[in-house]
Structure 1
Amino acid sequence: MKISIITVAYNAAQTIGAALQSVANQRHPNIEHIVIDGASKDATLEIIREHADRVNTLVSEPDKGIYDAMNKGLARATGDVIAFLNSDDRYASADAISSVVDTFERHHVDAVLGDVAFFDPKSPERIIRRYRSDRFTPARLAYGWMPAHPGLFVRRAEYVRTGRFATDYRIAGDYEMIIRLFSRPELRYRHLPEILVHMQTGGASTAGIKAKLQLNREVLRACRENGIDTNMLKILSKYPAKLLEYLSRYILSSDAQKSR
């Protein structure tokens, strides 16, 4: 099974090396890595070229935003399955892709949902929160729930059926895409209870209150444009459960320290 991994980058010199290396480290033998750079003005392109032997496709040109860049990646992907790895994220282990492939082959599904661990860029080894994708079901789209996007692997045929990312979203274009993918009752998916990706905090969707407000407004719009009955109160109701993810991590860390 061939896996296409798409990495979108812009001025990511501080982080993209680790992202590229985490793909190069994968033990699965059939990976296509596509990097779409938005004509970065820092050393991003130089770093990508240092990994040229493991990057199958490189595009460096101005784009109209992250979802336009993702569409460029989709158009070039030739794998059986497609995933997106952000330029400031990295795969959690060298066996992450192998575990995903094994799940596809054993369960004959259209999508695999893995977990993502958030880390503080100042302390990369310290996990702040585990984003559990098993909390997601299509019925929860109306409540703002989605599987962790960097841990989502979808057959390319499903993207062909669903179409491109909507480029008039700034933050929630991935959410809008997930609505279209998972609103089809025939789509088969399975949760893989492993942390597949370590995701850095501070990205577009996690960068403070202002970003959260815009995100939730776009989530509301995505639901309404795709015929999902919801309101802002429903969407905001997901935050207590997300707070529990932080608290559970804190409790586990405290217990581990006490047991030493």
Structure 2
Amino acid sequence: MINDAAPVHQQPVVTVVTVVFNDAEGISRTIESVAGQTYDSVEHIVVDGKSQDGTAQKVEERRDLIDVYLSEPDRGIYDAMNKAIGLANGKFMLFMNSGDVFFDRSSLSKLIERAEATNSSAVFGGWVRQSPGGSTEFRQPKLRSGLFNHQAVLYARSLHRELGPYALVPGLTTADYLFLSALLQDSRIPTSELTEPVAIIDIGGVSAGNHTFAQKSAIDYLHGRISKWRLASYLVLHPIYRMVKKLSGRQ
């Protein structure tokens, strides 16, 4: 929640967006993580796709921790994210979707400090991947390789005026990766990296699977990160690799 008492140095407002659909278990965890940030100037927007599993009740129980709550049918996660962009008031945005959490209480402060110290319009932080079984893996951003995660990215809301909203295309599961790749491709937009972890994410969900991998590979090819030969080999070999990995018991 935004602190009404103005500090001596006016902090830029950060809009944290949580998109949710039928995740009564995860939504409480995310709301409490956002509310627990030590950074004062936070606007929290929750956009629910009209869940039917008790999610709305969990949100209402924590309504005092949320600035804006919208619950209505949508056309998928990126439609919900675009609705939140239209509702946001912050100078910066960060999407922390249901079930995902900040790494610690100072994560937002670290991102803002990095943005201000480097005069960056976008800061790409590190993140921790958490499997359904509870195992974790730390990842650092590698922007030239296209290695980043949107839950760990703070960026200026004004960039949507230049780059547009998230693409709404049937079957597209990588609109966030497409948007952030376009951001990185634009030499006019100053960016920086924060190698510390700022988010803990659930590695399951919408952006998992061969379909998403193929889309990301195509985006990497279009932005010059991989050759057409590597793209072709990825698309041919990756499904086989995933099958062998699954059969060997290595998830």
TM superposition score normalised by structure 1: 0.79
Aligned match of 1:193 = 195
Q: Give the drift of 1:222.
A: 4.0
Q: Give the drift of 1:234.
A: 3.8
Aligned match of 1:203 = 205
Verify: 1:154 aligned to 2:151, yes or no: no
After TM superposition, the structure 1 = structure 2 runs for residues 207-222 of structure 1, keeping only pairs within 5 Å, are 211=209, 213-222=210-219
CA distance in 1, matches of 2:181, 2:129: 23
Q: Give the drift of 1:35.
A: 0.6
- Contact conserved, 2:19 with 2:47, CA < 8 A, in 1? yes
Query: CA, structure 1 residues 53+197, in 2 after alignment: closer, same or farther (shift >3 Å)?
Result: same
Cα deviation per residue 1:44-71 (whole Å; 9 max; x = unaligned)?
Answer: 1111111111111111011001111110
- Contact conserved, 1:220 with 1:232, CA < 8 A, in 2? no
- Contact conserved, 1:171 with 1:204, CA < 8 A, in 2? yes
Verify: 1:231 aligned to 2:231, yes or no: no
Match of 1:58 among 46, 58, 69: 69
Aligned match of 1:108 = 119
Match of 1:2 among 8, 13, 21: 13
Aligned match of 1:68 = 79
TM superposition score normalised by structure 2: 0.82
Q: Which runs of 5+ in 2 are unaligned?
A: 1-11, 239-251
Q: Give the drift of 1:230.
A: 4.6
Cα deviation per residue 1:159-185 (whole Å; 9 max; x = unaligned)?
Answer: 221111111153111111112211111
CA distance in 1, matches of 2:196, 2:168: 31
RMSD of aligned C-alpha atoms? 2.2
Query: CA, structure 1 residues 219+201, in 2 after alignment: closer, same or farther (shift >3 Å)?
Result: closer
CA distance in 1, matches of 2:228, 2:206: 23
Aligned residues: 223
Query: CA, structure 1 residues 91+232, in 2 after alignment: closer, same or farther (shift >3 Å)?
Result: farther
* Percent of matched pairs sharing the same residue: 26
Aligned-partner residue type, residue 121 of structure 1: P
Q: Which runs of 5+ in 1 are unaligned?
A: 240-260
Cα deviation per residue 1:103-156 (whole Å; 9 max; x = unaligned)?
Answer: 111111111010110113343xx42x12211x222xx4xxxx242111011111
Aligned match of 1:172 = 174
Aligned match of 1:254 = none
Q: Give the drift of 1:226.
A: 7.3
CA distance in 2, matches of 1:79, 1:14: 28
CA distance in 1, matches of 2:48, 2:81: 10
Aligned match of 2:42 = 31
- Contact conserved, 1:132 with 1:148, CA < 8 A, in 2? no
Verify: 1:117 aligned to 2:125, yes or no: no
Query: CA, structure 1 residues 163+230, in 2 after alignment: closer, same or farther (shift >3 Å)?
Result: farther
Cα deviation per residue 1:78-102 (whole Å; 9 max; x = unaligned)?
Answer: 1010010010100111100111111
Q: Give the drift of 1:220.
A: 4.5
